[in-house]
Structure 1
Amino acid sequence: MELHFILNGKPVEALIKADTILLDLLRDMGCYSVKRGCDTTGCGLCTVLLEEKPILSCAMLAARVEGKHIVTLEGMKEEAERFGKFLAAEGAEQCGYCTPGMIMNIFAMERELVHPTEEEIKAYLAGNLCRCSGYMGQLRAITKYLNREEVSADESGK
C-alpha cells in the first residue's frame, strides 16, 4: 500500500503493509525520538502530533495518516532546545528516554490551554510515564516554560 503524508513539514511517501503501526513507520523513516515503550498506550513514549493533536503512535495504523500532517520531535528542534533549557535549570532532565513524548504533549498543551493550572498540567501529562523522577522538577520546568512570556514581561518592566 502506498502512503502519502506530511512528516515534519515535508511531503513523504512510503510503501507499507496494511498492518504497519505508525510507530514502526516513523522509526523506519529516521524519527528516533519516537520511542517504543509499552506497546499498550500506557507510557506516552511514542507520542507524536497528528494534525497538531497528540496521539500515541503505537496504537495507530500508519494507513490512517494518509494525507495528514505528522510532527515528531525531529521537526521541532528549536522548540525542544528552548524547553530543554527549562528542564536543565530545574535539574529535571534525568535519563531523557521519556522526554520526547512528554515534550510533544507539552507543545500540544501550549497550543490548547491558556495559563494551565498545576492540576491541568498534571491531567494533560497523565499518560507520560517517567521512571527516573518524582515529576516535581519536570512540573516546575513545564510551569516556567508555559509562563515564560509573563516572566519575560515582568523582568522587562523592572
Structure 2
Amino acid sequence: MDIMREITVTINVNGKPIKAAVSPEESLLDFLRYRAQATEVKCGCNKGDCGTCTVILDDQAVKSCLVLAAQADNRHVWTVRGLEEDSLMQALQESFATHGAVQCGFCTPGMLMTAKNFLEHNLKPDRAYIKEAIAGNLCRCTGYKKIVDAIAAVAASRAGDRA
C-alpha cells in the first residue's frame, strides 16, 4: 500500500501567512475553513457547481473546492473578510444591500468575490456580460435580477468616476 505523505505549504490568507502540513488531496476550501479559520468561505456543493466557496487566488476568482491546498503554496488568497477595507468590495456590499440582492446570504460571499474580480478586469460591462460572469455562482433566493442590478450599479458608478 502506497501511503501519501503530507506536504508543508505556506499560504498567505488575507495578508497573513499560514503554514501547515496538508495531505496531497486537501482542498484549498478545507485549508481555509479548518486551518485558517476563514469560515466566511462557504462549502456548498464541494464539486465546483455552486460558487459559494469562491475566493481570489492571486488575481483570479477561483472555486476553492476545486483547487488543492498544495496548488496555493506560496500564493495569496483573499476572502470577503480580508477585503472588508477594499473600496470596491465595500461598494459591492452596499449595492447588494440597497438592491435587495441578499436574502438568505449563503451565496453572497462567493457572489461578491466573483463580482469584485470581474469588475476589476471589466470597466464598463453590460448586463449580459455581468450575467455571464456570475453564471458559475448559484443563488436559490433572489432570481439573479437583483444581483445583476447591484453589480451593474457599481459598474456604472465606477465608469462615471473614470469619465
> What is the TM-score of this pair, normalised by structure 1?
0.90
Paired residues for 1:9-158 under 5 Å: 9-28=15-34, 29-79=36-86, 80-151=89-160
Gaps of 5+ in 1: none
Bigger mean CA offset, 118-127 vs 13-22: 13-22
Q: Is the 8 A contact 2:56 2:117 kept in 1?
A: yes
Displacement of 1:6: 1.3
Displacement of 1:82: 3.0
Displacement of 1:152: 5.9
Q: Number of residue pairs matched?
A: 154
Q: Is the 8 A contact 2:93 2:112 kept in 1?
A: no
Displacement of 1:17: 1.4
Once residues 152 and 111 of structure 1 are traced to their aligned partners in structure 2, the CA distance between those partners, rounded to angstroms, is 14
Q: Percent same amino acid at aligned positions?
A: 36
Q: Is the 8 A contact 2:13 2:77 kept in 1?
A: yes
Secondary structure at 1:130 match in 2: coil
Gaps of 5+ in 2: 1-6
Match of 1:3 in 2: 9
Secondary structure at 1:78 match in 2: coil
Once residues 27 and 162 of structure 2 are traced to their aligned partners in structure 1, the CA distance between those partners, rounded to angstroms, is 44
Once residues 159 and 48 of structure 2 are traced to their aligned partners in structure 1, the CA distance between those partners, rounded to angstroms, is 34
Once residues 92 and 4 of structure 1 are traced to their aligned partners in structure 2, the CA distance between those partners, rounded to angstroms, is 35
Deviations 1:54-79 (A, max 9, x none): 11111111001111111111110134
Deviations 1:29-81 (A, max 9, x none): 11111111111211000101111101111111100111111111111013444
2:129 partner letter? E
Secondary structure at 2:84 match in 1: helix
Secondary structure at 1:145 match in 2: helix
Once residues 48 and 149 of structure 1 are traced to their aligned partners in structure 2, the CA distance between those partners, rounded to angstroms, is 22
Once residues 14 and 153 of structure 1 are traced to their aligned partners in structure 2, the CA distance between those partners, rounded to angstroms, is 43
